[in-house]
Structure 1
Amino acid sequence: MRDEPNDWESRAEANSFYGFTDLPSVRRRGTVVVTHGEGPYIFDTRGRRYLDANSGLWNMVAGFDNPKLAEAAKAQYDRLPGYHAFFGRMSDQTVMLSERLIEVSPFERGRVFYTNSGSEANDTLVKMLWFLNAAEGRPEKRKILTRVNGYHGVTVVASSMTGKAYNSVFGLPLPGFVHLTCPHYWREGRLDESEAEFTARMAAELEETISLEGAETIAAFVAEPVMGAGGVIPPSEGYFQAIAPVLQRHGIPLVADEVICGFGRTGEAWGCQTYDFMPDAIIASKAMTAGYFPMGAVILGPELADRLQAASDAIEEFPHGFTASGHPVGCAVSLAAIELILDDGLLENVRRLTPRFEAGLAELARKPNIGEWRGKGLMGALEAVADKENRTPFASELSVSERIANTCTDHGLICRPLGQSVVLCPPFIMTDAQMDEMFEKLEGALDQVFNEVA
């Protein structure tokens, strides 16, 4: 019988396989093994407390011990602990959640299909589009347009949609997934190019891409209102107003990937409302259950819903689904989470805190090694630079953002490194004092790391 490791860090290292984790850091520092949470704080096996300014993974917007969400789950477990949504059967909670999602969506009517994650929702959307286009006699209409630095998930299709270089290790993207320029004016704008000119160039690039690929081959353009895992990148001014008419003219659906932005993160219920555009479909997850249950959804607007229904009627089914699609406990939790966010004050708190959040980011951006602060609502980023005037990044081997995040952890703060940026997306329940604590600890970490590397 082999000896078992007897401390939590060694046990994690011995038996767990890490995803999206800087392995040298883990081997050097060990794994933080979390035991419980209180409000926006988490606690580890050593009794250390951390303010989680990443909301878990963008999703724990109501904190880690919300009684309303826990009670919703417990009550539903007592009534009906699990079921599916196949064969013409689904739970009453699933029916009620579909009604609620259409009610709070920007659509006057539509249909909802449930998944277990945002990745599966994006994967499902692509299958829906391929299916209905083939049914309508356009089997060649399969290509998906997204943007460099956009993140849409980790299934094979969602990874192909994701415009991140790391997916090349899997031999991805698949053919037919086209990545346009990231609409990040600060980084992608040309010398002496105004923001309006940059936006016009993005629209012209889209028009050119459609001409090159052929509108008859393109199934959709999928975009996050604010790029989340790309480093919290808001679009350039007027971006969606510039690209939407191009897509509409060519009959290409515009899909809003609201996995991160949806349910209040940007200060409105939906990111598409923040940026004033009407999508043809919405992808939802994360804050949809406030992180208390794994769940995602494809919310189809009227036109796509009708077309998908007609395609399904022709063969008497839509041959796709998951065992836990529309899980009754997840639906009950989601109903409670939506009520908490939209009706019980969490969205109002996002709006109240946003000026304080932006002011804190702007103050830290005055440091000589912060090139830009950016954000919308309660999602923001600070981009580290070796040379502020020339926007020169630090050498990659310095791992500056990883060092900042690790130093923050040492100070009792959880934030996220993304490229050369440090990302903050605090829970919606934050208080003024907790916001001040977040920025105080982050500033201490920034000063420490910049003194080491600059």
Structure 2
Amino acid sequence: MESVFHGFTDLETLNRDGPVVLTHGEGIHVFDVNGKAYMDANSGLWNNVAGFNHPGLIEAICQQARRFPGYHAFFGRVADTTVALSEKLLQLSPFESGRVYYTNSGSEANDTVVKMLWMLHRRNGQPQRRKIITRLNAYHGVTVATASMTGKAYNAEFGLPLPGFLHADCPHYWRFARPGESEQEFSLRLARSLEEMIIKEGPDTIAGMFCEPVQGAGGVIPPSEGYFEAIRPILRKYGIPLIADEVITGFGRTGEMWGSVKYDLQPDAIVASKCITAGYFPMGAIILGPALGEALTRVSEAAEEFPHGFTAGGNPLASAVALKALEVIETEGLLDNVRRVSPRFLAGLKGLAEHCYAGEARGVGLMGAVELVSDKNSKAPLDGRLQIPERIANKALGKGLICRPLGQAIVLGPPFIITEAQIDEMFAILQETMAEVFSDVGL
């Protein structure tokens, strides 16, 4: 409490209860300094998908550290593990070919793509193409540019977004559909609204559009039916690149290797992070599709270089861990397990939706949320002063379960190694916790 400044933390709860200081992990559990175990139903921050003590990942770190622990990727020099990882990422990607660029996080990767697009358009004689489109409730990071892209109200604390960052409609059918409107009709309406925004702003001023296949930190919001099929032709019509932010959905979270494949985005580039190293080392990656990769190479050659980079981008230790993490996801049955246990997970969410104050349970693969309301019919939110999601998360923590409050929702994203028995245990704790919290506040 005296030495650490905590981000994204409810400070009232922190000041009252103090922090949870962790010492180690085993499987899907982490342990605090008092030896108490917690089932982590959020995989750390979506990323510790192979558990917290996978021996193969730990050994990959040790072996690479002994051989070649650190170097940069500037000036035409690059570690052999980084080359191998690039080839592997392109092999796994939906692209036939392309290039890979490395950062240390998803925020840095999205920020880098913005600069890539700005440089590309400027070098192509269109310096006015600088505006970036994202969606309301989107999350793309915490750098100044990516916080501007993030469609969350809290960024007003920093005087953001910056000018030129535009937020289109959120594709949350349950929350934003009009009475009697089908999902397809809703998606078409959002597509028309997007095109109206593009025309109003000027198509020749738009640098690109970034989309999460599933809005993760927005509360696990899968796209409405037909959404990407509706917006994709509009972006192509006006020559606007589509960037898939797969920081959360990449490498299996939705039950497919890529959310872009699950929802048929057909993007021009993919941003990856989190699961790329199974949470064992910081890393972000931009996988450029062939057209965008070739275009950026061409303009960088004209400029003599791409004048951007990070000291630890493409770090050989990170690359070695990523290679092992991808092997683990592919060959040790983690992706298969997501597909196998997902029906049990989604059934558990459906069970939570039966609660009288649950408005919607939504999810795909091993990511889901239950949104709480004061009235199921009107979908009116609960009184924010009651802090119901925060109370649920805090009481669940006392019962040994880590879950995440997000707005009026409780969000879950367990590790890919979770068993059906552990899923049942997770939902049993949540059912019990929700009943106790609503009783405590007199609802």
TM-score normalised by structure 2 residue count: 0.99
**Secondary structure of residue in 1 paired with 2:291:** helix
Aligned to 2:390: 402
Matches within 5 A, 1:24-423: 24-423=12-411
Residue 213 of structure 2 contacts residue 265 of structure 2 at CA under 8 Å; is this kept in 1? no
Distance apart, 1:433 and its partner CA: 1.3
**Secondary structure of residue in 1 paired with 2:225:** coil
Runs of 4+ in 1 over 2 A off after TM superposition: none
Residue 169 of structure 2 contacts residue 194 of structure 2 at CA under 8 Å; is this kept in 1? no
Unaligned runs of at least 5 residues, structure 2: none
Measure, in 2, the Cα distance between the counterparts of 1:34 and 1:190: 46
Distance apart, 1:451 and its partner CA: 1.4
Distance apart, 1:77 and its partner CA: 0.1
Measure, in 2, the Cα distance between the counterparts of 1:104 and 1:47: 40
**Secondary structure of residue in 1 paired with 2:2:** helix
Letter aligned with residue 440 of structure 2: E
Measure, in 2, the Cα distance between the counterparts of 1:242 and 1:90: 41
Count of residues in correspondence between the two structures: 442
Aligned to 1:426: 414
Measure, in 1, the Cα distance between the counterparts of 2:283 and 2:6: 22
Could you list the per-position Cα deviations for residues 164-211 of structure 1 after superposition, in whole angstroms to 9, with x for gaps in the alignment?
010011010011000011100111111222211111111001110110
Residue 244 of structure 2 contacts residue 265 of structure 2 at CA under 8 Å; is this kept in 1? no
Measure, in 2, the Cα distance between the counterparts of 1:230 and 1:20: 14
Letter aligned with residue 94 of structure 1: T
Percent identity of equivalent pairs: 62
Measure, in 2, the Cα distance between the counterparts of 1:342 and 1:108: 19
Letter aligned with residue 202 of structure 2: G
Measure, in 2, the Cα distance between the counterparts of 1:89 and 1:382: 48
Residue 118 of structure 1 contacts residue 284 of structure 1 at CA under 8 Å; is this kept in 2? yes
Letter aligned with residue 353 of structure 2: A
**Secondary structure of residue in 2 paired with 1:114:** strand
TM-score normalised by structure 1 residue count: 0.97
Measure, in 1, the Cα distance between the counterparts of 2:41 and 2:351: 18
Could you list the per-position Cα deviations for residues 305-364 of structure 1 after superposition, in whole angstroms to 9, with x for gaps in the alignment?
011001100021100000001000000000000111122210000000100001111011
Measure, in 2, the Cα distance between the counterparts of 1:139 and 1:92: 37
Measure, in 1, the Cα distance between the counterparts of 2:303 and 2:181: 52
Letter aligned with residue 421 of structure 1: A
Residue 116 of structure 1 contacts residue 325 of structure 1 at CA under 8 Å; is this kept in 2? yes
Measure, in 1, the Cα distance between the counterparts of 2:311 and 2:26: 32
Measure, in 2, the Cα distance between the counterparts of 1:164 and 1:35: 32
Measure, in 2, the Cα distance between the counterparts of 1:215 and 1:111: 27
Distance apart, 1:230 and its partner CA: 0.2
Measure, in 2, the Cα distance between the counterparts of 1:83 and 1:317: 20
**Secondary structure of residue in 2 paired with 1:14:** coil
